Structure 1
Amino acid sequence: MQNNKPENQVENLSEVLMVRREKLKNLQEMGEDPFKISKYNVTHHSDEIKNNYDKLEGKHVSIAGRIMSKRIMGKASFMHLQDQNGRIQVYVKRDDVGVDDYKKFKTFDMGDIVGVEGFVFKTKTEEVSIHAEKILLMSKSLQVLPEKYHGLKDVDLRYRQRYVDLIVNPEVKEAFLTRTKALKALRNYLDNLGFLEVETPILNTIAGGANARPFITHHNTLDIPMYLRIANELYLKRLIVGGFDKVYEMGRMFRNEGMDMKHNPEYTAIELYQAYADYEDMMEITENVISHMAEVATGSMKINYQGTEIDFTPPWKRMTMEECVKEYSGVDFSVINTDEEALAIAKEKGIEITPGMRRGEVINAFFEEFGEDKLIQPTFITHHPVEVSPLAKRNAEDPRKTDRFEAFANKWELANAFSELNDPIDQKGRFEDQVRKRELGDDEACEMDEDFINALEVGLPPTGGLGIGIDRVIMLLTNSPSIRDVLLFPTMKPLNTQVEGDEETEL
C-alpha cells in the first residue's frame, strides 16, 4: 500500500515491511515457502459455521481466510479469520497444533492468509469458534493493512486500492453484494418476460445510438478509426429487424466526457427492445423492473437515500415535459409556437442560447434548468421535442413531440425510452439534422449510419425500446453518494502523472 504518513512514520513502516520480508525469507530457507502451496480444501465458510452451530458443534471443519486480529496468550492464543462471508474466531492451543507449528503461528502477521482445520465449539463468552488442530500459512502479506479502528478512510486511496477497501471495510463488500442481487433480479425479470440476452460489438466504426462524445481508437489492420460504443441501440434494433421480438444487452458503455458523482467514463447500462410494443409498454417494464430490483436487493420497494425516502412502488407519477416546465417555470409552451418566440422567452429567463437552437431545444433547456431538480420521487417525463429525440417516433397528435419518456428519481435520470422511429425516410432526415449540428460544432451529435437506414428500409416493426442506467439505480439501492462507490474499479487519474492542461475532477 502507498501511504501519506509523516516521514518518521514512513521509516518505521519500512522497518515493519522489512521484518515481514525477513519472515518470508526464513520460511523459504526452511523449505516452507507459502507461495508454493497451490490448493487447499475448504469445507465451510464463517457464516455457515456460525449460522448452523447446533448441527456443527464438535464437527470437524476446514476453513481458509485472512488473519484480521491475533491475541497471543502464552500456550494458547486467539485470532479472527476473515473469509468471503465474514469473520470467525479461531482458538489456537500449543498442545493441539504442536510446539513447532505454534511457534510459527506466533510469527504470523495481520493480513496473512491461512488455512485452519479443527472442530467447532463455543468459548466461555458464547462466541462460536474453531478449535484449531492444524494451521497452514498459504500466503504471506508483505504489506500492512490499515489499523483496525481507523480503517482505510482516505477516499481516493480506497478507490485506487479497492482490494484493501474490501478487506477492511465490510460495508463496501455489502454494497457490491447488493449490486449483484439487483442485477440478477433484473435479468430474471426480463428472462421471465421472454427476453433474450444478446451481445453486440463494443468497437464500432460509427459512434451512434446516443448524443455523446466517444473514445476514439485506431484499427491498424483496417487502418480506420474506431469508437468504443456510446450505446448499443442501433445494433439491438437491427436484431428486431432480423426477427428477434425481445432482446436485451447489459454491459459497459463508454463516453469521453466529464467525471462527477454521477458520471464515470465507462459505466453499466442495459438496453432492451420489444417488437409490437410502444413507449407505454416500456414505462410499465421500467417501474416494475426497478421496483423488483429494489425489493429483491433491499427487501423493500421503499429505500432511504441520504436521508430521503424514495418509494419505487408502481405506478409512478407521469408528466409531459411541457407540463413539467409550466409547473416549475411558469412558462406555457403550448402557446409558444415559433422558434423566435421560444428564443425570446429563453433570453428573458436567462437560458443559454446555442447556435441553431430551435423551439424544441429551448423546451428541453427549460426542463433541465427548472424541472429536473424537482423530481425526487420516481417520475416519468414524457413527450420530448423531436429536436432532442433523433431516434424516437413522432407523436401522432402533435408531430413536434415524440412518444418518449425519461424516468427520474432523486433528481437523476435513471432511464430513457421511446416508441422507436421505424420510418427510414424520417430517420434519414433526423440523421441529416444531427450531421448539421456536428458541422455547427456539436461533437456529441449522432453521425449518419447508412447501414442502419438500410435496416429500417428492410423493415422494423413497431418497437418499444428502453435504456436504464444501472449504476445510478445501484447508487440509490446502496445509499452510495458517488458512482465510484458502486464501481469496483472506477476510473482514476494515474498517480504522479501530469497531463498539460488537465486536472482531475473533484468528486
Structure 2
Amino acid sequence: MSQKNTGGVKLTEQEKVRRQKMQDLRDMGVDPFGHAYHRTHKTGDIVPVYQDKTKEELEELQIPVKVAGRIMTKRRMGKAGFMHIQDLDGQIQIYIRKDTVGDEQYELYKKADLGDIVGIEGVLMKTDHGDLAIRAKEYTHLTKALRPLPEKYHGLTDVEERFRRRYVDLIMNDEARRIAITRPRIIRAIQHYLDGQGLIEVETPVLNTILGGAAAQPFVTHHNTLDIDMYLRIATELNLKRLIVGGMEGVYEIGRLFRNEGMDQTHNPEFTTFEAYVAYSDLEGMMDLIEGLMRSVAQEVLGTQVITYQGTEIDLSKPFARVRMNDAVLEKTGIDFEKITDFDEAVRLAKEHDIELEKKHNSIGHILSLFFEKYVEETIVQPTFVYHYPIEISPLAKKNAEDPRFTDRYELFIKGHEYANAFSELNDPIDQKERFVKQLELRELGDDEANDMDIDYVEALEYGLPPTGGVGLGVDRLVMLLTDQSSIREVLLFPTMKPLASEKKDKKDKKSKDVKVIKETKEDQEAVETVDEILKEA
C-alpha cells in the first residue's frame, strides 16, 4: 500500500481516498464535520419496544423516528441499499431508496464510508427477512471519518492497542461498551446503598503534605507557590476520621487514589475506592455493612446475588464466612502462630517453608502475614472475612481486647483476591502516636510503604474520636467481579500504559529542546546583567 508524507503524517491509500471524499462533500456544499442533530429515539428506545411487531403492524402504525449513529455496515444494490448504524445502545438497520430520499441525499449515501456518522429520519418497518429496520426519508451527513475502522470480525486484536486506542475499542467491541456503561451503574448503586444507611458523601483533598492512611509508596509532586513537595493521596482514611471527630458520625468518599507501585491484573497506579466511617460501630458493623452492600449492588445492577466470575459461581446471598488469620494458616500448615512467642523460631519456620524475609519483617506478626499470603489467600473462593490481623501490619486498627498482639481488622477475600479492608478504628491518641513512631522505625529499616508521623491527626484524636468502624473497598475490583473481568485494565477506560518507543523519543527530543532554551535564556540573562553593570559604571 503506497504512502506519502503529508505534513509529517504518512497516509494510507484508504486515508487519501477518505480525504478526497471530505473535499467532495465540501464541493457539494456539505460540511464534512456537521452540526447538531436532534434525535427523537436511540436504538434502546426502538428495538425492545418494536422488535416483536409484525411487518403488517408496523406498516399500519407508520411510527416516525429520527436517529443518529456511526455506519458499521453498508451494502448497496443499484438504487437502494442497507446499512447498520450504531449508537450507545446498539445497532439498527437502515433501508434507503434513491426514489425516497432524492438524488442528492442518495449520492451522500453512496459516498459514505464505514465509520461515518449520519442522521436518519424515517419510519419503522420489517424487512422480508423479518428484521426491524428504519425506512429512510431523510439522510443527513454529520461527520466524516478520516480513518477506516478495524476489520469487523477482528476489531483491535492487539490487547495493548485496545487500551491505547480505547475510542476505537468502544466502537468495535460490544463488551467494552457494556463494561463502560455498567461501571457508573455500580458506582450509583454503591451510593444508593450507603445513602440508605444514613452516611453522608464527602470530598477530601487529593494533595497532602503527610503520607498516611495506608501502607504504600506515593507519587510526589511540587507546589510552586508554597515551594513544598506534596503527595497524591494513597488513602482517604485520616481526613475522613477527622470528620467523625468533628461530629459528622457517618461519612463516605468515592474517589481516586494514587500508589507508585507495580502494575498487574489487579493493580493500576491510579484506582478508585470508597471508604466509609461510622461512629459507634466496630469491626462487626463493617462486616455487616459490606456484606449488605455487595448484595444490594449486585441485585440493583445485575438483578441477582448469585454471579459467575471466571467460570466459578460466587454466591453473595449466603452469609459470608468469617475466619481468623491464624486459624486459616493453622488449617493449611499445621502451625499455630498464637503459640509462638520466640521470633527466632518464627524465622526458622519461614525458612523451612521457603518464605523470603526482608529486613522490615522484624516480628512474628509479619511472618504470620507472609504465611497467610503464601498458603491461604489464593485458596479462598466464596466471600470470606479474614480478621484478627497482627498489630505490626495494622497501624491504624484498634488492639484486640483479648489478645493485644492482634487487631480488630479484617480483609474480604473472594476467589483469591482482596476486595475490602476494615477496622475497629484506633481512637486512643497515645497508642496511635506510638504506632506512628513504630512506622518511622520501619522506614529507617527500608520500608518505603511505612506511614509518616501525622501530628495533626494525633491532635484530632485528642479531641475525642468515638468508637468507630471504618472500611475501604476497591471499586475497580468490584466492577471486575460484577462484569466477570480478569484484568483491571478492562474496567478502566484509560488504564496506565507504558509509553510507545516513538512517544519516548518525542519526549526526549522535547527535553533536549527545553534544556537548550533554558541554557540560552540563562546566557541572555547573564548578558543583560553584564550590560547593566557597564551602564552603572558609566
Shorter-chain TM-score: which interval? Answer: over 0.9
Corresponding residue for 2:205? 201
Question: Does structure 1 residue 333 correspond to structure 2 residue 337?
Answer: yes
Structure 2 CA distance for partners of 1:233 and 1:148, relative to 1, 3 Å: same
- Deviations for 1:97-155, whole angstroms, at most 9, x for unmatched residues? 10111012100000000011111111111211111111111110001101112222211
How many residues of Structure 1 are paired with residues of Structure 2 in the alignment? 491
Give the partner amino acid of 2:76.
I
Measured in 1, the distance between the counterparts of 2:3 and 2:311 equals: 40
Asked if the contact 1:380–1:406 (Cα under 8 Å) also holds between the matched residues in 2, the reply is yes
- Report how far residue 193 of structure 1 moved: 0.7
Measured in 1, the distance between the counterparts of 2:327 and 2:405 equals: 15
- Report how far residue 368 of structure 1 moved: 0.9
What is the SS of the residue equivalent to 1:402?
A: strand
Asked if the contact 2:337–2:368 (Cα under 8 Å) also holds between the matched residues in 1, the reply is yes
Structure 2 CA distance for partners of 1:70 and 1:367, relative to 1, 3 Å: same
What is the SS of the residue equivalent to 1:115?
A: strand
Measured in 1, the distance between the counterparts of 2:108 and 2:384 equals: 62
Corresponding residue for 1:488? 493
Deviates more, 1:224-233 or 1:150-159: 150-159
Corresponding residue for 1:408? 413
- Report how far residue 159 of structure 1 moved: 0.4
Give the partner amino acid of 2:21.
K
Question: Does structure 1 residue 137 correspond to structure 2 residue 135?
Answer: no
Measured in 2, the distance between the counterparts of 1:170 and 1:355 equals: 49
Q: How does 1:186-265 map to 2 (within 5 A)?
A: 186-265=190-269
What is the SS of the residue equivalent to 2:221?
A: strand
- Report how far residue 348 of structure 1 moved: 2.5
Measured in 1, the distance between the counterparts of 2:314 and 2:2 equals: 46
RMSD: 1.6
Corresponding residue for 1:101? 105
Corresponding residue for 1:273? 277
Determine which of 58, 80, 83 is the counterpart of 2:84.
80
Corresponding residue for 2:476? 471
Measured in 2, the distance between the counterparts of 1:171 and 1:351 equals: 40
Measured in 2, the distance between the counterparts of 1:338 and 1:146 equals: 63
- Deviations for 1:368-391, whole angstroms, at most 9, x for unmatched residues? 111111111111100101000000
- Report how far residue 353 of structure 1 moved: 1.9
Measured in 2, the distance between the counterparts of 1:348 and 1:76 equals: 77
Question: Does structure 1 residue 27 correspond to structure 2 residue 25?
Answer: yes
Corresponding residue for 1:164? 168
Which stretches in structure 2 are left out of the alignment for 5+ residues?
5-9, 506-538
Asked if the contact 1:246–1:274 (Cα under 8 Å) also holds between the matched residues in 2, the reply is yes
Determine which of 39, 44, 48 is the counterpart of 2:41.
44
Asked if the contact 1:417–1:466 (Cα under 8 Å) also holds between the matched residues in 2, the reply is yes
- Report how far residue 177 of structure 1 moved: 2.1
Asked if the contact 2:256–2:271 (Cα under 8 Å) also holds between the matched residues in 1, the reply is yes
Aligned-pair identity in percent equals 54
Measured in 1, the distance between the counterparts of 2:358 and 2:90 equals: 55
Determine which of 445, 451, 454 is the counterpart of 1:446.
451
TM-score of the superposed pair, with normalisation by structure 2: 0.89
Deviates more, 1:281-290 or 1:490-499: 490-499
Corresponding residue for 1:384? 389
Give the partner amino acid of 2:138.
K
Corresponding residue for 2:375? 370
Measured in 2, the distance between the counterparts of 1:214 and 1:313 equals: 37
Determine which of 422, 430, 433 is the counterpart of 1:428.
433
What is the SS of the residue equivalent to 2:450?
A: coil
Measured in 1, the distance between the counterparts of 2:100 and 2:395 equals: 74
Asked if the contact 1:417–1:465 (Cα under 8 Å) also holds between the matched residues in 2, the reply is yes
What is the SS of the residue equivalent to 2:215?
A: coil
- Report how far residue 181 of structure 1 moved: 2.2
- Deviations for 1:271-316, whole angstroms, at most 9, x for unmatched residues? 0000000010000111111122222222222221221112122311
Measured in 1, the distance between the counterparts of 2:2 and 2:148 equals: 13
Deviates more, 1:64-73 or 1:334-343: 334-343
What is the SS of the residue equivalent to 2:466?
A: coil
Asked if the contact 1:343–1:358 (Cα under 8 Å) also holds between the matched residues in 2, the reply is no
- Report how far residue 161 of structure 1 moved: 0.7
Asked if the contact 1:178–1:298 (Cα under 8 Å) also holds between the matched residues in 2, the reply is no
- Deviations for 1:71-98, whole angstroms, at most 9, x for unmatched residues? 1011111110101101101111101110
Measured in 1, the distance between the counterparts of 2:373 and 2:422 equals: 17
Question: Does structure 1 residue 342 correspond to structure 2 residue 346?
Answer: yes
Which stretches in structure 1 are left out of the alignment for 5+ residues?
1-7, 500-507
Question: Does structure 1 residue 63 correspond to structure 2 residue 67?
Answer: yes
Asked if the contact 1:288–1:314 (Cα under 8 Å) also holds between the matched residues in 2, the reply is no
Question: Does structure 1 residue 175 correspond to structure 2 residue 185?
Answer: no
TM-score of the superposed pair, with normalisation by structure 1: 0.94
- Deviations for 1:349-399, whole angstroms, at most 9, x for unmatched residues? 222222251111111111111111111111110010100000000011111
What is the SS of the residue equivalent to 2:323?
A: strand
Give the partner amino acid of 1:297.
V
Corresponding residue for 2:467? 462
Structure 2 CA distance for partners of 1:58 and 1:375, relative to 1, 3 Å: same
Structure number with bigger Rg: 2
Asked if the contact 2:101–2:138 (Cα under 8 Å) also holds between the matched residues in 1, the reply is yes
Corresponding residue for 1:437? 442
Measured in 1, the distance between the counterparts of 2:299 and 2:185 equals: 10
What is the SS of the residue equivalent to 1:467?
A: strand
Measured in 1, the distance between the counterparts of 2:387 and 2:91 equals: 49
- Deviations for 1:486-507, whole angstroms, at most 9, x for unmatched residues? 00110011212459xxxxxxxx
Measured in 2, the distance between the counterparts of 1:364 and 1:477 equals: 28
Asked if the contact 2:2–2:13 (Cα under 8 Å) also holds between the matched residues in 1, the reply is no
Corresponding residue for 1:124? 128
Corresponding residue for 1:393? 398
What is the SS of the residue equivalent to 2:463?
A: helix
Asked if the contact 1:215–1:255 (Cα under 8 Å) also holds between the matched residues in 2, the reply is yes
Give the partner amino acid of 1:160.
R
- Report how far residue 31 of structure 1 moved: 2.7
Corresponding residue for 2:307? 303
Question: Does structure 1 residue 313 correspond to structure 2 residue 294?
Answer: no
Give the partner amino acid of 1:435.
L
Deviates more, 1:343-352 or 1:122-131: 343-352
Corresponding residue for 1:292? 296
Q: How does 1:347-362 map to 2 (within 5 A)?
A: 347-356=351-360, 357-362=362-367
Asked if the contact 2:325–2:389 (Cα under 8 Å) also holds between the matched residues in 1, the reply is yes
